[in-house]
Structure formats: C-alpha cells, structure tokens
Amino acid sequence: MAQVCYCSVSSKITRERTEEIRKAADLTDKIRAAGGLSICDRTYRLKKYKQCFVASELVKWLIDSGEAEGEEQAVELGQLLVNTDYIHHVVDEHNFENGYLFFRFRQDEPPEQAFQGPSVAFMRGQEGALISLLAKRRIVLGWTYYTFVLSPSSTLYQYRSELDSAPLQCYSLENGFIQPENPKGNCKVFAIMHVFSKTKTKLLTLGADSSETQFTWLQAFSARGLEILPSVDEADEMVKNARSIFDFKATDIDGNVVSLDRYRGHVTLIVNVASQ
C-alpha cells in the first residue's frame, strides 16, 4: 500500500482550538457526572481492559441526553474527545466510530500505562510542534513508515501511528546535526536525512517522500539550533577538492564544531580515537 506523507506544524493556539478544548472539557464533565455511561473493566478475546466504555454506548448517551441530534453528530463529538486527548481507543488502533470498540478516558488510565510519554493528540496542541509521516531506515526491514513529532524543545518522538498514546522512542536532538542526502538507485524514498547527536553519533536515518517535506523538516531542525551539515554528495566533493586539512571541520571534546583553519601555523597532531 502506498504511503501518503503529510506534514503539519502546530501554529499558535487558535481561538478555534481553544474552543474545541473547552467544549471537550465541558462534555467530559457532563458524561462522567451523569452516570449514564458504564465505565468498567471489560474483556475481549480473553484480555481484560480496565476502566473503559463501549463507543456505541457513548453514541447512544449523547443522543439520549440531547448533546447530539443524531448518530453522525454523536460520532463527531466522540472524535472531538479523541482529537483533544480526553479519550482514546484502548490499544490506539481506531478513531471514534459507532461500534463495539473500547475507549478510555485519559484520567482513567491504569497506573502502569499512565505517564508513558505525550500522545500525538497532545502534541498537536503544542505550539510549533511538527508532525509528519516519515520513513525510518531499519537494518533488516529497510524503510518503515512511522509518525514523527518534533517538539519545540528539540525532542524527536517516534510513534507507530498518529493514534498512539505514547512514543515508541524519543531522541534528544539538542545541539545535534542533520545531514541531507539524495538517494541513489532504486530507493523507496525521495530524500534522506541523517540525524546525529551533539557528539556526532548517528541516531537514525529518515526518509521523506518529497523535497517539500524534507525542506520543512530541515527548516524546523535549523530553527531549533541543529546544524545542517553539507549533504553527503557535497561532503564527498569537498574531500576531493580539499587542498589541506585546514579546509575541514571537526567536533571538539565539548561537542562544538571547530574549523581546523584555526590551527593554521601551529604544529598539529591528528589522532583517530575509538571513543565517543
């Protein structure tokens, strides 16, 4: 199945977004205060899911209570609760729909599942967060698509999908580096970005399906203080054209990029050490 790459940046919290959050909060209070919705432990295929409710029962409650005029509006209100991070599917596999699906209020999350990291829905409400479907290069499986979120604080979160309650992995990119690359041969992605930590340890390799998506991410990385290195092709060309070591840069012990030209005129010893 072809993957469609989307890319969105959360702008300032708009009046519309504020109204959605207020409406969802009010609706949550009404649902929980009325006592008409059964929230309890449920079992499906021999597995127990704690403190959850059935989506179709919430649809019925919304209609019976007058909060919704019909099924379509009730489903829209249920999805509003998902989008504002008040409820989620118990295994994060479905948006809200009128069916026998288990959903849970965030405040009813079991202790062992709570505070595992920000959900994608929560990050959508964070000003400046970049959310995108990107491919990640894996050693055995090759390119696999995930939802990636770049926070305003330079943390990169990797999610299985945009419905996830917690990230699969987190990468701290403060003072890191990004190196673009143009794929060669029969590659499944249009553009490649190598992501390095501040010590220039490679953290992961990402693939974008368009130059526009790559440009958006490079802009976001740069805005957060990451240095955009010359592309792999440009670096190769620099090596070919270099006339001395003073044409190169290196990372010092503090993680700062230093031009070797500063040592021109000094006796210089270059040592390759197997440490980070």
What six digits make up the tokens of 47?
């597995």
User: 10 pLDDT band (50/70/90 cuts)?
Assistant: low
CB of 193 within 8 A of CB of 206? yes
How far apart, in whole angstroms, are the C-alpha atoms of residue 207 and residue 232? Answer: 14
pLDDT tens figures, 220-237: 999 999 999 888 666 666
Distance, CA of 11 to CA of 124 (rounded, Å): 9
If phi > 0 it is left, if psi is from -120 to 50 it is alpha, else beta; for residue 203 that is: alpha
Which of helix, strand or coil describes residue 63?
helix
Which structure tokens are listed for 160?
């299985």
| 14: confidence class by pLDDT, cuts 50, 70, 90 | low
The rounded radius of gyration (Å) of the Cα atoms in the chain is 24
Q: Which pair of structure tokens corresponds to residue 57?
A: 């029962």
**pLDDT (average), residues 141-157:** 92
Under 8 Å between Cβ of 37 and 65: no
| pLDDT one-digit tens code per residue, 154-204 | 999 999 999 999 999 999 999 899 999 887 766 678 889 999 998 888 999
Q: Is it the case that residue 141 has pLDDT exceeding 80?
A: no
* Angle ∠(49,123,111) on CA atoms, nearest 5: 30
What confidence tens digit (pLDDT) does each residue in 19-45 have?
899 999 999 999 998 777 999 999 999
Read off the pLDDT of residues 38-78 as tens digits, 9 standing for 90 and up.
Answer: 999 999 999 999 999 999 999 999 999 999 999 999 999 99
